[in-house]
Each structure stands twice: as structure tokens, then as C-alpha cells.
Structure 1
Amino acid sequence: MVEVDNATLIAFTVLALLAFVVALIFTGLSVAKKSKLFVNTIGEVSAKYETDITPATYAFGIWNLIFIWQAAWLLYAFGSIWRYADGGPVLMKPDILPIEFYLFWISCCLLYIGWLFLWDREYLFYAFIDLFLLTGCGYAAVAYQSIALNNNMIGLMSKSPVDVTLVYVLVQNGTDLFFSWTTVATLLNLASALANDPLLKRNLSAKSASTISLVILGIMVLSWSLIENTVWFDYFKYVYAWYAVLLWALIAVIVKNYDRTNYNSVFSIVLLCLVVIALVVKVAVYASRIS
């Protein structure tokens, strides 16, 4: 990781907070009926391009929780600038929130704003690419922060033990909540694009497009369960937002689309069971390794 001085990290903390505020403003404009910047609301475009995996409307309320949690960790990081321990801000030297984390997180805010416009204009495939890049940057942000915390755990524990818990709860699970949901949104966007975007030479049926997204999600669940319980255990042992998001999303998909004659409904139920099993395995591995 790049070593920078405290002043640079403080500047990026402020930039991250400002980027979040700008993202909130554009979100508000995107749902406002009288906004001149946007033609449609997010919900209107989603309803126009529904697939077999479009979740029930209530599921999108998770954005409220996401924004609240992002605000919580950003205010915590901003407030930590004035909380000193051992001669410096509590989250700096060692750098618990490294500059790479802030760079990728700010990039996510910019990509999110870009997605709002692409989705509004119904550029479905470009919107998918945007969300894909956003989620990739999000994964990088979470990875850099988790590695920084693990590598500097002893230093932070000696300065302020309570901040270890706060970083786990607010920063790690807060950002993981955000990017777990954008993972779901990326797959929903992919299905809509494959079925409807005229940019593609040949569109798939909504059913086939939905199956592709479900298969990708299944592969991700299995792969992540394997990785986080083995080589990356120390970095992500307290991160559970991924499972909460998947349970929330899959239940909403089943609630809206359940049809026992539709194999995508069956697949969704199988995936829901798989997520529950993966969660149980994570808890069991943690219990066995910590005891």
C-alpha cells in the first residue's frame, strides 16, 4: 500500500464525504418526478424491463439502509480526524483506512452517479458495464481496508480497542452491504440488458437471461464461501452483510415471481438454501477456528 502523510489521508476523508453527499443529491433528483436532469425514475425503468429475477418492490428499500450505513462510517472516519491517540488521529499511523480504499470508494460514487444517468436513458448494457466496474471497485475498496485492518490490528488495539469493533461494524460491514447489493443489482441489470437492449445483435428471452444471472450468482456464492473460510479467513471473519443482502434479495425474488412451473423459481429457492448453508458454514468455521 502507498504510504502517505496524515494531511493527505484527511483530505481524502473529506473528499469521500463530499462524494457521498453529491451521490445523495443525484439520487434524490433521480427519484423526483419534476427533475429536469432525469427522464424516468429508477423504478419506472425497472418495471419496464422486468425479468424472472426482478425482486418485489420493497426489496429496493435496502438503499435507505445502505445510505444510512455509508453515512455512519463516513461520519465516524471524519470524526476520527480529531480523536488523537499516540500523537496522531486514531485511524492513522497505522493507516486503517488507506488511501487506496478512499480512491476506490470515491470512484464507486462517481460510477454510481453515471449509472443513474445510463439507467434513466435506458442504455441497459452500458448501465450493466458501469455497475460491473462499480462493484469491482467496491470489492477492491473492501479488500484494501480489510488487509489494512488485519495488518495493523495490534497497533489499533494498543491505541483504541473500541475502534477495532467500530471498524468491523461500520466500515467493513457497511461497505460490504453496499457492494453486495450492487452485485445483485449488476446481475439484475445484466438480465435486463441481455433480454432487451437493442445494442446486442440478438436478445435472449427474459427467462434465459434470468437463468444466466442466477448461475453466475450461484458460482459467486460457492466461490466466496470457499475463499473466505480458507485463505481470506483472517480478513473477513466478521463480515456478514453479504449473506444478509443475498437472503433479502432472493426472498424478494421468490415473493414476486414464484411459479412452481418456472425453473427459475426453483433455481431461486435452491440458491436461497445454498446461501443459508454457506452462512451456517461460515459461523461453524469461525467457531472452530476461534475456540
Structure 2
Amino acid sequence: MPLHWRILNAAGWLGVVSVNAAAATGGLFGRSSGEISDKVPTLVTPAGYAFSIWSVIYLLALGYVVAAFLPSRRHDQTMRATAPWFFASCLFNVGWLFVWHAERYTASAFVISGLLLTLIALYLSSRPAARAAGDRSGFFLIALPFSIYLGWVTVATIVNISVALRAGGWDGWGVPDRTWAVALFVVAAALSAVAAFKDRDPWFPLTVAWALIAIGVKQQSASQLVAVAAWTAASIAIAAALFKLRGIAGLKPRRM
């Protein structure tokens, strides 16, 4: 990877972590991210504890940034392919925080959609590291961070768009909110199955399941139907992940 990308990605990671720290403590426009989310409640908003996954994402991303400076990774083609997309994701991440905290919900939906697209590109370009035989460090430093990052932002994009539509007064074309929520959970479960079986990736669906379980926890008092649907979709995602983990481990069911 060229030196300028290594430096830009390190700076991008520091920028993301710094702005997120400010956001978490109310340092952006005097409001925390959770306070803004609570202003426009939806049936797909997760419980607050779910957002702790950002710490895991940023720690794994730090491993990616540090790996770029290792001599053994200096000419790694996967690192080279992912570098521009990682920097772009940092820009979108920081940009989203500013528009979200400015309560520009429609703009934030477009920005997080941009982040989602860059993460899809980042995910696809990092997959060779997941399939490289005998390179476990490549999996943990390059592929794993973006499986989890994409899994979380996939659900976060759904939540953000729902908030933007609610804030804009959209009535759901007359379809009840519960129905839309259940439909979105079906989409999340389907994407999890595709990641597990097509990409042999159990970590994306496990991350989606984490978010769906938290949505069920948050919404069980508002709608038992939504909570059960969220937990059912999470169960499907977990089942797909476990099935794929068994396949990766080389385990086969016993014959009776």
C-alpha cells in the first residue's frame, strides 16, 4: 500500500474516533447521538446498549490501520484495494455525525447511504483476505473488521431512513408502521442469509442479529408483534451464521 494511503487512513481513523467521542459526550451542537435519536422514535430503533458495538468496530479498524504499516503487509494487494474505500468511509462517518447532530435527518439518510455504499465496496474488496489459506492474521486484520462494520451500518441505515421519513411526515402510504418494521426485518434476515451462504461470512449475520435483538428489546413495550418479528429475524441470522461456522470448521452432522 502506498505511504500516502497509510497516512490518510491513520488520520481518517483518528478523525472518526475523535468526532465520535465528541458526539458521545454532547460535544457536537450540545446533544448526544442518543438524545437526537429519542426525539424521533420509530419501531426499528434499537436499545441504547446496541451502540456499544461502535467500540468493537473502531478497535478492529485500528488493527487494519496498524497492519498497513507492517512490513509484511506493505505490498498486500488486498490492503491496496481497500485503502481508498476505507478513507472514504471515514469521511462519510464524520460527515454523518455532523448532519445527524444538526438534526438534518433527510441529509443524514443520504450520507449514511453513502457510507453504506462505501462499506459494501470495502467489504467486497476485503473478501480475498477472508479466503486466503494460511493467513489468519489477514482475516482478523482486513476481512473481519468490515464484515462487522457493514453488518451494523446495514441496520443503522434502515433506522436512519426510518427516522428521516418519520420526521418528514411520511405516512407509509397508509401501511401500518408495524408492517413496515416486519418487512425491514425480513430484508435484514435475507441479507444475513446471503452473506452467510454466498460469501461464507458468519460475522455479518451475527452483527445484524445483535442489532435486531436490541430492536426487539427496545420495542417490546411498544409492539409485541414488532419485538417477536425482530427476534425471529435475529434467530434466522444466527442460525445461518452457526451453520456456516460449522462448515468453516469442517464439522459435519452425524449420521444416525
Query: Is this contact kept in 1: 2:40–2:167, CA < 8 A?
Result: yes
Residue in 2 that maps onto 1:125: 106
Structure 2 length-normalised TM:
0.85
Q: How many Å separate the matches in 2 of 1:22 and 1:261?
A: 39
Shift of residue 97 of structure 1? 0.7
Query: Is this contact kept in 1: 2:186–2:233, CA < 8 A?
Result: no
Shift of residue 288 of structure 1? 5.1
Shift of residue 185 of structure 1? 0.7
Are positions 1:23 and 2:16 aligned together?
A: yes
The partner residue of 2:96 within 95, 115, 139 is 115
* Secondary structure, counterpart of 2:73 in structure 1: coil
Residue in 2 that maps onto 1:231: none
Residue in 2 that maps onto 1:3: none
User: What residue identity is the alignment partner of 1:96?
Assistant: T
Query: Is this contact kept in 2: 1:104–1:140, CA < 8 A?
Result: yes
Shifted more, 270-279 versus 241-250: the winner is: 241-250
Residue in 1 that maps onto 2:233: 271
Residue in 2 that maps onto 1:191: 162
Q: How many Å separate the matches in 2 of 1:265 and 1:94?
A: 44
Structure 2: state its 5+ residue gaps: none
Residue in 2 that maps onto 1:96: 78
Are positions 1:247 and 2:240 aligned together?
A: no
Structure 1 length-normalised TM:
0.76
Query: Is this contact kept in 1: 2:130–2:143, CA < 8 A?
Result: no
Deviations 1:78-119, CA, capped at 9 Å, x for gaps: 2x0xx3xxxxxx224452312x31111111110111111121
Pick closer, same or farther for the CA change 1:52–1:141 going to 2, 3 Å.
same
Residue in 2 that maps onto 1:215: 186
User: What residue identity is the alignment partner of 2:213?
Assistant: I
Shift of residue 182 of structure 1? 1.0
Residue in 1 that maps onto 2:122: 141
Shift of residue 181 of structure 1? 1.0
CA-based RMSD of the aligned residues comes to 2.5
User: What residue identity is the alignment partner of 1:97?
Assistant: M
Query: Is this contact kept in 1: 2:92–2:112, CA < 8 A?
Result: yes
Query: Is this contact kept in 2: 1:52–1:264, CA < 8 A?
Result: yes
Query: Is this contact kept in 2: 1:195–1:209, CA < 8 A?
Result: no
Identity rate of aligned residues, in percent?
20
User: How many residues end up aligned between the 2 structures?
Assistant: 249
Q: How many Å separate the matches in 2 of 1:94 and 1:21?
A: 23
**Aligned positions of 1:1-291 closer than 5 A:** 9-33=2-26, 35=27, 37-78=28-69, 80=70, 83=71, 90-98=72-80, 100-147=81-128, 150=131, 153=132, 164-198=135-169, 202-204=170-172, 206-228=177-199, 237=200, 239-258=201-220, 262-287=224-249
Shift of residue 247 of structure 1? 2.6
Pick closer, same or farther for the CA change 1:93–1:24 going to 2, 3 Å.
closer
Shift of residue 209 of structure 1? 4.4
Shift of residue 286 of structure 1? 2.8
Pick closer, same or farther for the CA change 1:49–1:113 going to 2, 3 Å.
same
Shift of residue 176 of structure 1? 1.7
